[in-house]
Structure formats: C-alpha cells, structure tokens
Amino acid sequence: MRVLVAEDEPTLAAQLNEALSAAGYRVDLADNGVDAHWLGDEEAYEAVVLDLGLPRLDGLSVLRRWRGDGRTMPVLILTARDAWHEKVEGIDAGADDYLAKPFHMEELLARLRALIRRSAGRASAEIACGPVVLDTRSSRVTVDGSPLSLTSHEFRLLSCLLHRQGEVVSRAELTEQLYAQDFERDSNTIEVFVARLRRKLPPGMIETVRGLGYRIPGDP
C-alpha cells in the first residue's frame, strides 16, 4: 500500500514516515506543494496525507488541482486546530477527511485505514481470502488462525494483491508499491518476493498471468 505524505515540518514528516512505514505502508514524502502536486499526478497512491500549510503551493490548491484533473485517491488533510475554515474549504475542495494538529498518530492511522477501506468498497478492517486473513489494524497476517512471519517487502506485496483481489496486478505496479521513487527499480525482484510468498501461503493462492502480472483470485 503506497501513501504520499505532504508535510513541510521535518520532525512531523519523519514521525509520519516512521509510523506509516511500521504499519506496512510504502511512503513517499513531499515538503512543498509543487512536489506534492507532481507526485500525485504522476504516481498511484492508495491515500494521501496532505498538510494545507505547504510552501510554494498551498495544500488547498494542490487538492483542487488533483480533483480538477480527475485524481480520486482518498485525501486526509491536516489543519491547525483552530482553523475551522480550512476544514470546511478542504472538504469542499474534495478532501475525504481531516485531522487537526496536534493529533495522536494512532488516530491518523485509523482514519487512513478507514479511507482506504471505503475507497476499496470494504467495511471491515480485515481482508480475507480463504484461510488467509490480513488485519490492516495490526499489519499482521494469519493462515488458519496461525501468525505468518513475513518481511516488510513480502507484507507489502501480499497486501497489494489482497486489496485488489480478482485483479491482475502488473510487475511494474508491484514494484511501485515496494520501492521509493528514487530507488533503482527492477521488476525481476518481484518474482523473487512472489516465490518466497508462495512458499509461505496455501498452494495456488497467487496466480501468474503470463505477460501481465499476478493475481489473487477473489473468494467465490
């Protein structure tokens, strides 16, 4: 699951990066509105955490441009606690939720999970496929109720496939989910992680669609 964090305060940006990464997200950071707008236009994100007080281009303008260009990813805006007018303007501009600073990181993570669930048309915090269950709250996976030990990359890969059950996900898309934007991307490494996952998951759970990518079939 890939998330963009647009926040210009270095300490808060680092805290968000650490918390989201620990929760299993792949995080891209932008410390100004120009870069945030470009990333949101060029990259595919499951959600965005957007501070409205960004330099160079304010967050409200970034959000309006995204929505004007047809970008539909869920956006959680961050506002000053007493700036009620920013909350109203943000929602009117197309934000899906808001959080006032200062906030508890657990609340931000919970709101982000809820946004992603609603965007995917799911009501539960758990994603199940046969005996495999991924709990988005704890970032843990079980098989027949027993915990499954996964590396961070294996977890992100499985999470991406489970969130898109029934869809074919290309190697390029999976690579985008696993690596930072400036990382030298090699889609061949995806085959290695898929092979590792297959050894840990029930047989046949991850299908290879020749020439296209991988798929976890949805439950019948």
Ramachandran sector of residue 121 (left: φ over 0; alpha: ψ -120 to 50; beta: rest): left
Spatial distance between the Cα atoms of 133 and 111, rounded to a whole number of angstroms: 21
Verify that 113 and 144 share a domain, yes or no: no
Verify that 87 and 130 share a domain, yes or no: no
Express as a percent the part of the chain with pLDDT over 90: 56
Domain assignment of residue 64, given as a range: 2-119
- Domain end residue (candidates: 119, 139, 163): 119
Tell me the pLDDT tens digit for each residue of 125-182.
Answer: 788 899 999 988 888 999 999 999 998 889 989 988 998 888 899 888 888 777 755 4
pLDDT of residue 185: 52
Give 214's DSSP letter: E
pLDDT above 60: residue 107: yes
Spatial distance between the Cα atoms of 75 and 157, rounded to a whole number of angstroms: 23
> In the Cβ-directed half-sphere of 181, how many Cα atoms lie within 13 Å?
16
207 falls within a domain: yes
pLDDT above 70: residue 52: yes
pLDDT of residue 15: 97
Average pLDDT over residues 57-63: 95
Token pair, residue 168, equals 């074919």
For residue 159, give the CATH number of its domain.
Answer: 1.10.10.10
Instruction: List Cβ neighbours of 135 (8 Å cut-off, separation of 6 or more).
Output: 125, 126, 141, 142
Average pLDDT, the chain: 88
Give 218's DSSP letter: P
Verify that 20 and 107 share a domain, yes or no: yes
Tell me the pLDDT tens digit for each residue of 5-51.
Answer: 999 999 999 999 999 998 888 899 999 999 999 999 998 899 999 99
Average pLDDT over residues 85-92: 85
Report the alpha-carbon angle 118-124-130, nearest 5. Answer: 120
For residue 101, give the CATH number of its domain.
Answer: 3.40.50.2300
Verify that 20 and 114 share a domain, yes or no: yes
pLDDT of residue 172: 84
Helix (H, G, I), strand (E, B) or coil at 202: coil
pLDDT of residue 187: 55
Verify that 100 and 10 share a domain, yes or no: yes
- Domain end residue (candidates: 87, 119, 151): 119
pLDDT of residue 220: 47
